[in-house]
Amino acid sequence: MKVLLHHLWLFPLVAGTAWLVALLTLLIAWFAKGMPQYPGQSNPYVPYELLPESYQNSRLIMIRFVSDIGAFELKPVFLICAIMTGLGFIGTTCSVHYARYSSRMYGLKGSRIAKAVSCLAIIASIVAGVNLIMLSIMDTYRFQEAHRNFLGASFLGLGCSAACTTWVYLDQTRKRSPYRRLREYCVVNTAIQVCELGLGAAFMVLLNKEWYRIAGFLEWTVTILGSFWLLNFIGYLA
């Protein structure tokens, strides 16, 4: 058991590294190919795909840059990294919440509400991880409707899990903690999430204003920053 506890930090390491590798590999491949435009893509700078024509009149636009490249370039890389990220994220969430309450690790007290929120975070992480894997299998080119549904479910699960985990560990940022390094990582985690929310909001505004080029770059930024958010959990478990 002790050996396993000492290696829980591998979950966020695998999840964050795999996702970062997927993003950088696909982006580099896209640049190396001369920034080609894929079917359904109209932005010459950042890969994205419009929703089906029936939705375009409502000005709703779905940006799927990673999936667009993954559907045409290095799909095995995207698939393998998505599987590693999905499973790693589930393992990370389970480990982080186990670490909080277990006497073998932090042994921090938690109310019934806090423990219920931890359970919700774990369930949401499973939803996010499974749907991430499924959307990597059902690519944007051949399975647009299914991919869109899996993408939405993945973001919903990810957001819920992240919010719940932040809430559960929020007490470690408000007061002096006996685990000084844990407090530092909790503060960094919260700061990254605030940045993600701000960038996400800016992305939606720019998207609504039809400034697609800047919006596309912002979405790349949000996704890459998410890799470092995952890697930050190493500090919770190391």
**Phi and psi angles of residue 165, each rounded to the nearest 5 degrees, phi first:** -65, -40
pLDDT the model gives residue 4: 74
- Structure confidence at residue 137 (pLDDT): 85
**Token pair 């991430």 in the structure block, residue:** 132
Residue 181, token pair as written in the block: 């390094």
Of the pLDDT bands very low, low, confident and very high (cuts 50, 70, 90), residue 203 is: confident
Task: List CB contacts of 95: < 8 A, sequence separation 6 or more.
Answer: 8, 11, 12, 237
- Sequence-distant (6+) residues with CB within 8 A of 105 are 5, 98, 99
Q: How confident is the model at residue 67 (pLDDT cuts 50, 70, 90)?
A: low
Max mean pLDDT among 22-36, 65-79, 104-118, 206-220 falls in 104-118
Q: How many CB atoms lie within 10 A of CB 37?
A: 11
In the predicted structure, residue 51 carries a pLDDT above the cut 90: no
What integer is the mean pLDDT of 197-226? 83
Q: Are 161 and 233 in contact (CB under 8 A)?
A: no
166 pLDDT exceeds 60?
Answer: yes
Q: Which residue has the higher pLDDT, 104 or 65?
A: 104
Whether the pLDDT of residue 175 is over 90: the answer is no
Residue 222 burial (CB count, 10 A): 17
| pLDDT at residue 71 in the model | 53
Please give the angle made by the CA atoms of 115, 120 and 124, to the nearest 5 degrees. Answer: 150
44 contacts: CB under 8 Å, gap ≥ 6: 35, 37
DSSP code for 70: H
- What's the pLDDT at 231? 98
Describe the crossing of helices 75-101 and 112-137 by its angle, rounded to 10 degrees.
170
pLDDT at 25 (0 to 100): 86
Do 12 and 233 contact (CB within 8 A), yes or no?
yes
Q: Considering only 15-19, 21-25, 218-222, which range has the smallest mean pLDDT?
A: 218-222
- Do the beta carbons of residue 234 and residue 6 sit within 8 Å? no
Alpha-helical segments (H) within the chain: 2-5, 10-32, 53-56, 65-72, 75-101, 112-137, 144-169, 171-174, 180-208, 212-232, 234-237
Give residue limits of the domains in the chain. Answer: 2-237
Beta carbons of 57 and 18 less than 8 angstroms apart? no
pLDDT tens, position by position, 104-158? 899 998 899 999 999 999 999 999 999 999 988 886 566 777 877 888 899 899 9
Are residues 234 and 9 in contact, defined by beta-carbon separation less than 8 angstroms? yes
